[in-house]
C-alpha cells in the first residue's frame, strides 16, 4: 500500500509526542526550519481533543469576561490567518446571540470580571455589546469580516425563526468555522512530509524510557523500538502528565486538569431550518454558553465542560445529553428532539492548566510551555499546556522557537502566510474558480457537479483526487453513493489511513453526518482490507475495533 511509513530512526533532534493539532503544528514549524524531527501519535492524527471541538475558529468572545485580552487578540489574528491560508476548510460563521435583558445582570457580570465569585446569572445585552465593541477593536488590524450589529426583537425572530419569545433582541457578529478540523491537521502532516525529510507515525505510542532511550510501540502491528532525541516536545494534550511521568520517571508534575466536552449531532428538520446559516450562541440557566449551528447535514449542539481525571474515560453520558437538550429547549421552545434524531455524539477533553477556579468556564483557555533543560534526563523536555485549536499556528511557532533555542539554531521561515493543503492555489475569485472547475472536470472526464463536490471536500487537492479516480474503473459506494470506491482508495493510498475509523471519522464527514451503518462499515473494511493485504480474520478484527469505538465513544448503534 502506498503511504506505508518508512522505518522509525534510532536518533533524532526533536521527537514530538502527540499528533493532535498542536503537536502537528510544532512538527510542521520545525521541519520547515530543516530540523530533523519525528512525530509519534498513539492513535490516528487529530483523534483526541482535536477531533472534538465545537468547530469554531474564533477569538473567544466569552474569554473577554475573564480578562484574557491577549488571547482574544491573538485568536482573532489566527482566525483571520486561517480564513486566508485554509479557505477550503475555514469559512465565516455569522453568529447570533439572543438577549434576555439589556440591563439585568450588569452588576454580577462586572463583579465576575473583577474576580468575584458570583451566582449564575444571564449576561445583560449591554455588556455583550460592550464585549463585541472590544472584539471588533481587537480584530481591526487583520479585519476580514464585518463588525457586529444589534438586532431588534423582530429582526432576531426573522433571522432565527422559532427562537424563544423571551428574547428582547439580539446581536449579530462574525466568527469562523472549520468544516473538518481533522483533515486540516492531516494536510499539515502531508505537506510537511512532502516538503522535508520529517516523518510522522500514527498508532505509535510512547510507552516509557529505558537507558535514556524513549520506547515506542506500534499499536496495530506490534512493532516496537526506541529512539534517542535531543529535545522532546510533549504535545499530548490532556495526557501530558501521564506521558510526562512515563518519560521522566519520578517527576510527577500535575500541569493539566482537563474538562470533558460533548456535542450532539441532531437531524431535526425544524431545528436545522431555524438555524439556517447562523450559529446561535446562547446561555443556559447556569450561565454557561452553549452553541448550535447547522453542520455536516445535521444540527451540531454543544457543549459540556466537566472536570475529568482520566481522559481515556471521556464519553458523552446521559446527563450531558439531557443538559444540552434542556438548554436547547430553552432557546427553541417549540422544537422537539427525539432520541433517534441524535445521530452521532462526540466527546473530547480540553487540556486546561491546573486551576483553583471553581467554575470550569473561568479556567484560562490560554497556552504555555514548560521548559526543562537536559540534565535529570538526557534530553530537554518542552511540555505544552492548554492551547485552543484556533491558535495552533502561533502555539506551534512558540514551541518551535524554544526547541530551536535548545538546539542552538535560528528560525529561517515562518508560517504566517503559508497556505495549508487544499488551500494552496485554490482560486477564490468566483469566475476563476468556475473556469478552473470546468477545466479540471473536462481533463478528467468527470461532471462539473462531481468535481465541485470534490472541491468542497479537498479544496485544490480535488485535482489530484480526480486524476487518481480517472485512472481506473470506478463505482459509487452502495451505502454512500456520494462517494466512490476510487475516492476512498485515494484516501487509503495517500492519506495515511490505517484503520476504518480513519476514513469514516476523520478523512470524511460520514461519521459526524450520522451515516455510519453496518453496510457502509463492511464496504470500507473490504476496500481497506484489500489495499492493506489483510486476511479475512484481520478484516473482521478491524471491523470489531471500529464497532467498539463508535458504540462506546460515539454512542452509535447499528
Ligand X SMILES: Cc1cc2nc3c(=O)[nH]c(=O)nc-3n(C[C@H](O)[C@H](O)[C@H](O)COP(=O)(O)OP(=O)(O)OC[C@H]3O[C@@H](n4cnc5c(N)ncnc54)[C@H](O)[C@@H]3O)c2cc1C
Positions in the binding site for ligand X (CB under 6 A): 17-23, 40-43, 47-50, 52-56, 205-206, 235-239, 243, 261, 303, 348-351, 384, 387-390
Whole-angstrom distance, CA of residue 157 vs CA of residue 25 = 41
Least gap, CB of 550 to ligand X (angstroms): 17
> Residue 514 Cβ, how far from ligand X at the closest point, in Å?
18
* N-to-C CA span, the chain: 30
Decide whether 131 or 261 has the Cβ nearer to ligand X.
261
> Strand, coil or helix: what is 129?
helix
**Does residue 442 contact residue 463 with C-beta atoms inside 8 Å?**
no
| Alpha-carbon span 220 to 296, nearest angstrom | 30
Task: Please identify, using beta-carbon distances, which residue of 255 and 485 lies nearer to ligand X.
Answer: 255
Nearest CB to ligand X, comparing residues 198 and 243: 243
Q: How many CB atoms lie within 10 A of CB 413?
A: 10
Question: Exposed e or buried b for every residue in 116-128, given b needs 16+ CB within 10 A?
Answer: eebeebbbbbbbb
d(CA 173, CA 58): 11
Nearest CA among 409, 375, 418, 414 for reference residue 36: 409
Burial of 548 (0-12, 13-18, 19+ CB in 10 A): exposed
The smaller minimum CB distance to ligand X, of residues 148 and 217, is found at 217
Q: In terms of CB distance, is 103 or 242 closer to ligand X?
A: 242
Query: What angle (nearest 5°) sits at the alpha carbon of residue 241, between those of residues 235 and 244?
Result: 70
Q: Which is nearer to ligand X, 351 or 501 (CB)?
A: 351
Which SS3 state, helix, strand or coil, does residue 280 take?
Answer: strand
For the chain, the residue count is 558
- Taking the complex as a whole, the smallest distance from the CB of residue 489 to ligand X amounts, in Å, to 26
Residue 401 burial by Cβ neighbours in a 10 Å radius (0-12, 13-18, 19+): middle
Nearer to ligand X, 167 or 188 (CB): 188
Q: How far is the CB of 107 from ligand X (least distance, A)?
A: 30
- Given the complex with ligand X, which of 346 and 458 has the nearer CB atom? 346
Task: In angstroms, give the least distance from the CB of 351 to ligand X.
Answer: 5
Q: How far is the CB of 50 from ligand X (least distance, A)?
A: 3
Which residue, 236 or 508, has its beta carbon nearer to ligand X? 236
| Closest among 57, 68, 59, 56 to 140, alpha carbons compared | 59
CB of 141 to ligand X, least distance (A): 20
Can you read off the three cell numbers belonging to residue 531? 489495499
In angstroms, give the least distance from the CB of 276 to ligand X: 20
Closest approach, Cβ 90 to ligand X, in A, equals 11
Amino acid at each position: 500500500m502506498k503511504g506505508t511509513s518508512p522505518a522509525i530512526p534510532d536518533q533524532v533532534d526533536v521527537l514530538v509526542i502527540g499528533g493532535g493539532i498542536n503537536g502537528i503544528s510544532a512538527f510542521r514549524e520545525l521541519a520547515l526550519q530543516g530540523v530533523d524531527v519525528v512525530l509519534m501519535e498513539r492513535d490516528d492524527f487529530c483523534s483526541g481533543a482535536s477531533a472534538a471541538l465545537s468547530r469554531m475558529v474564533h477569538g473567544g468572545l466569552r474569554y473577554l469576561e475573564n480578562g484574557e485580552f491577549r488571547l482574544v487578540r491573538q485568536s482573532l489574528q489566527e482566525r483571520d490567518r486561517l480564513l486566508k491560508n485554509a479557505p477550503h476548510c475555514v469559512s465565516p460563521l455569522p453568529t447570533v446571540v439572543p438577549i434576555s435583558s439589556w440591563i439585568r445582570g450588569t452588576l454580577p457580570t462586572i463583579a465576575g470580571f473583577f474576580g468575584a465569585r458570583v451566582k449564575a446569572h444571564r449576561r445583560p445585552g449591554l455588556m455583550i455589546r460592550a464585549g463585541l465593541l472590544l472584539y471588533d477593536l481587537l480584530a481591526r488590524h487583520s479585519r476580514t469580516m464585518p463588525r457586529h450589529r444589534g438586532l431588534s426583537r423582530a429582526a432576531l425572530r426573522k433571522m432565527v425563526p422559532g427562537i424563544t419569545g423571551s428574547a428582547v433582541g439580539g446581536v449579530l457578529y462574525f466568527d469562523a468555522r472549520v468544516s473538518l478540523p481533522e483533515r486540516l491537521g492531516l494536510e499539515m502532516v502531508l505537506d510537511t512530509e512532502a516538503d522535508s525529510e520529517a516523518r510522522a507515525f500514527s498508532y505509535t505510542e510512547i510507552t516509557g524510557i529505558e537507558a535514556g532511550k524513549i520506547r515506542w510501540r506500534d499499536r496495530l502491528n506490534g512493532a516496537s523500538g526506541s529512539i534517542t532525541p535531543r529535545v522532546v516536545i510533549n504535545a499530548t494534550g490532556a495526557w501530558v502528565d501521564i506521558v510526562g511521568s512515563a518519560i521522566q520517571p519520578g517527576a510527577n508534575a500535575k500541569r493539566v486538569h482537563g474538562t470533558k466536552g460533548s456535542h450532539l449531532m441532531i437531524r431535526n428538520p425544524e431545528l436545522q431550518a431555524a438555524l439556517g446559516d447562523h450559529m446561535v450562541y446562547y446561555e443556559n440557566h447556569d450561565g454557561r454558553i452553549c452553541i448550535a449551528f447547522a453542520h455536516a447535514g445535521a444540527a451540531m449542539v454543544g457543549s459540556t465542560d466537566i472536570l475529568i481525571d482520566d481522559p481515556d474515560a471521556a464519553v458523552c453520558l446521559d446527563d450531558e445529553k439531557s443538559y444540552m437538550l434542556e438548554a436547547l429547549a430553552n432557546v427553541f421552545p417549540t422544537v422537539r428532539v427525539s432520541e433517534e434524531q441524535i445521530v452521532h455524539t462526540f466527546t473530547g477533553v480540553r487540556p486546561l492548566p491546573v486551576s483553583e477556579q471553581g467554575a470550569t468556564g473561568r479556567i484560562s483557555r490560554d497556552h504555555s510551555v514548560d521548559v526543562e533543560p537536559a540534565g535529570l534526563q538526557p534530553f530537554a523536555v518542552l511540555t505544552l499546556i492548554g492551547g485552543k485549536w484556533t491558535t495552533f499556528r502561533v502555539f506551534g511557532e512558540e514551541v518551535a522557537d524554544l526547541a530551536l533555542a535548545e538546539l542552538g539554531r535560528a528560525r529561517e521561515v515562518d508560517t504566517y502566510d503559508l497556505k495549508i493543503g487544499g488551500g494552496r492555489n485554490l482560486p477564490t475569485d468566483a469566475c476563476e474558480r468556475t473556469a478552473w472547475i470546468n477545466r479540471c472536470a473536462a481533463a478528467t472526464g468527470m461532471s462539473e457537479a462531481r468535481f465541485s463536490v470534490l472541491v468542497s471536500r479537498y479544496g485544490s487537492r480535488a485535482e489530484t483526487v480526480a486524476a487518481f479516480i480517472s485512472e481506473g474503473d470506478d463505482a459509487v459506494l452502495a451505502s454512500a453513493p456520494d462517494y466512490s470506491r476510487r475516492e476512498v482508495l485515494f484516501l487509503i493510498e495517500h492519506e495515511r489511513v490505517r484503520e476504518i475509523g480513519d476514513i469514516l471519522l476523520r478523512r470524511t464527514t460520514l461519521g459526524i453526518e450520522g451515516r455510519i451503518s453496518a453496510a457502509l462499515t463492511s464496504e470500507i473494511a473490504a476496500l481497506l482490507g484489500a489495499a492493506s493485504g489483510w486476511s479475512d480474520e484481520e478484516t473482521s478484527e478491524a471491523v470489531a475495533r471500529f464497532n467498539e469505538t463508535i458504540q462506546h465513544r460515539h454512542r452509535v448503534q447499528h
